[in-house]
Structure formats: C-alpha cells, structure tokens
Structure 1
Amino acid sequence: MHAGFTLVEVAVVAGILGLLALTMTSAFEGMEQARQQNTAQAHAEAARQALRTFMLRNKRLPCPDNSTYGDRGREANGAGSCPGDLRVGWLPYESLGLQVPVRSQRLRYGVHRGTNADLVAPLHGAVDGPDLEGTGGLARALATAAQAAPSTDQPHYSGAVPALSSDTCASAEPVNPAFVLAAPATDRDVDGAIHPGFDGPNRGFATSSPCVAPPARPATRIYDDVVVAESATTLLGWLSTATR
C-alpha cells in the first residue's frame, strides 16, 4: 500500500494541470477576442446603415471628423464646408444621429472624393430635368466613381490576397470603395501607436493614410480589426431602389 505519491507522479500531475490551465487560458482569450470582434462588427454594420440613411436624406455622404481622436463627433467645419482634400477621418457620429462611443471603439471612415465624383459634395445636375433634391447629382457622382480608374490617393484596399502577417498596406490592385469603415477590436499587435486598437495596415489608416486592410482579411493572432466597405456600384443600385 502506497504511503503517498512519488516525485515522478507529482511532476506528471503538475504537468497535466499546467497544460489544462494553459488550454483554458487560451480558450478564454479566444472567446474574448471573438466577443470583441463581434462587437466591432456590430458597430461597423450599424454605421454602414447610418451612412446609407444619411446619404438618402442629404443626397451626399458625410465629411469625416478630422479631430485627433474623434472627440468632435461631427463633420469637419460643419455640413457643406468640408475641406476638399479630406478623405479620411473619424466617423462623424453626431452628424449621423449616433452616440459617440469611447475612444477605443471609434470607427475610422474614408470616403471617395474624386474629380466629378465628390461623394461629400456632389454637383447638382440631372439628365432629364431639374435636380431640385440633388438625387441626380449624387447618382451621377456615384456612377462616375464606379467607372474611375483605381487610385491610391483615394481610400483604398488591395484587391490582391495579402499575406496574413503583413503590417504594410500594399498598393497592388487598389480597390476604391465609395466609403470604408475600420473598426478596432483588440490590440493584437501591441504596437503602442497613438490609436493602439488598430492592427496591421489600419494603424496608418487611423492617422492619415488612405489605405486600409481588405474587408476579407481574416482574424489572426496579430490582427482582428473589422473592415466594412461599400462600392459605388452597390450604393448606386441601392439609391435607385430607395428613390424609385
């Protein structure tokens, strides 16, 4: 009859318990990452719908909030006076009728502003008559944006499949959406930047770069942002249906 455990048996049990603890910790971390990413996805989808509603009501897309942290919550310089070169900033929550969240959950927002295709300030004009409400001018701007040559000066993401570990924003095969949103989940890459919630290429998008990670980029150990983009073609079709 054994009087107790041998050192080998104790070591084996300790190893098993350590392995179980590590497994449980990893599982909890994975669950928390998934929860944060689901929250970011919900915020991005709510913002997408708010942008569509704003566009339908105002016949334009909003100007970004160009404050450092998005504390203003409104369009830069107020409605109708958006700086011509301002394409990337924070989502103007109050202008969209949304509550401004805490800094770590705020979305970055990019909008297409090309020649004859300025979606923030489209020119009025319709083919078949006066464009009193501005729908014709918006539709024309969306159609022009949809046909424009790809440009890295506009908000864009790479149409090529990126390396999952890429921290840079590739300019190969740029895709220019009508608008794009980047929502931070958790700080997976721990980069210590001014806006640490954003990972990979979105670190630059969180400051001034027009380049954002592709919407289809999957979550990894070092990346879990959510990117939502709306093409000019999709928005034009939606506008035509909504105003029919």
Structure 2
Amino acid sequence: MQYRHLFFDLDHTLWDFDTNSKEALKDLYDINQLHQKGIEQFDDFFERYSFHNHLLWERYAKGQIKQDELRWKRMYLAMLDFKFADEKLSRSMGVDFLDILPNKNKLFPYTHEILGYLQEKGYILHLITNGFEKVQQHKLAKSNIANYFTEMITSEVSNSLKPNKEIFDYALNKTGANTSNSIMIGDNLDADIQGGINAGLDTVFVNHINAAPHIQPTYTIFHLKELEQIL
C-alpha cells in the first residue's frame, strides 16, 4: 500500500455538520421561544446565525478571538440582526448549543461502510479536526464511529489549527506516521487540502457540494464511496 495512515477531517467530511447544527439550533429556537422575541421564522434566524458563525470561525482560525467569544457571539450577532440584544441569553444559548449539538448523529452517506472497508484493508485511521476536544469526542460516540479511529488530534490538544503545518506535524509525531505513508482527507480546501500540502502530505478533496477548487488536491471525490477507487 502506498499509504498506511489516513487522516480524516470530521465536520462536513464524515459528520454532517450543517444538518446536525440546524437541528440543534432549531431546538434552541424552540426552547427559548425566539419566535416571541421578534424572530418570527427559524429559517431566517438560521441564515443569520450561519453568516456570523462563518465569519467568527475565520477570525478564530486567525487567532483574533477566543473560543468563548466565538461560542456566544454567533448567537448574539444573529439575534441582533432582528433588533434583539440579550448577552445573557446569548451566552446561555452558546453553552446549550454545545450540549445539544454533539448528540445529533447525522453522517454523510456511506460513512460507516467506507470506514469499515478501509479498516478491514489494514489502514490506520485518524482524525485531524479544528473542533473542540470534548464536543468532537461526543460526536464520535453518538454517531457510533469512534471505534474506527486510532487517534484524534484537535486544535485544542495540538495548540494549532488547520491549515497550520504545526497541527499536522503534531499528528504525524503522535501517530508515528510520516509524510510518505500518510494522506489527508477533507472537505475544506483552505484548511484540509492546503494544510495537508503545507505539511507535505498527499490529499483527497471530498467535494460534497461540487465546489470549484481553487487549490489542487492530489485526488478529488464527490462521494465517500469513491475512496474505494483510491485506497
């Protein structure tokens, strides 16, 4: 085998983050009765939340804000767009969201099948994720895929974020892998693919949304089953 160690991203690659986060946010919307606070339609609230969450994650990845600020400000700014400002509620929702979200267990089609296939072929599977340590562990348990992975490297543990080379170096050192026998598999061109390239790894771009690539991966797939053609 050309590759021995397979490093997967989790969110948006295996774990259906968009579906799961929308379900979790809908729970919060109902629990906190936001429809009575001037936010009449959940889909409108979800759109504003998604907008601010994306921008705040970009700032977090650049080291401009801390985790706590990311967690509550995405709620606060989304509500502020509806002229409703409540920092206390925003902080409470930020905590509750991370309690609810990991209990959601929607995966992309063929996730269990491909992980089982790769494991049976003798590959050693790991995760490299920018997500929070406890949250990611809970997601793996609830979606019943933790048993496929030998190591999970998070930004918290490694003190670095994809696409920085340091998180990949940490992962290689922790797993005993090297660049010649490893490959990075993920959906995010800037974090996963450019990060893998920065670290000297071959890469697989999991293009679930048929995006136009602005970075050239080693391989591109549009469905997880296509990994069987590469590995």
- Tell me if both proteins adopt one fold, taking TM over 0.5 as the criterion: no
Q: Which has the higher helix share?
A: 2
Question: Who wins on radius of gyration, i.e. which is larger?
Answer: 1
TM-score, normalised to structure 1, is: 0.24
Structure with greater contact order relative to length (CA < 8 Å, sep ≥ 6) = 2
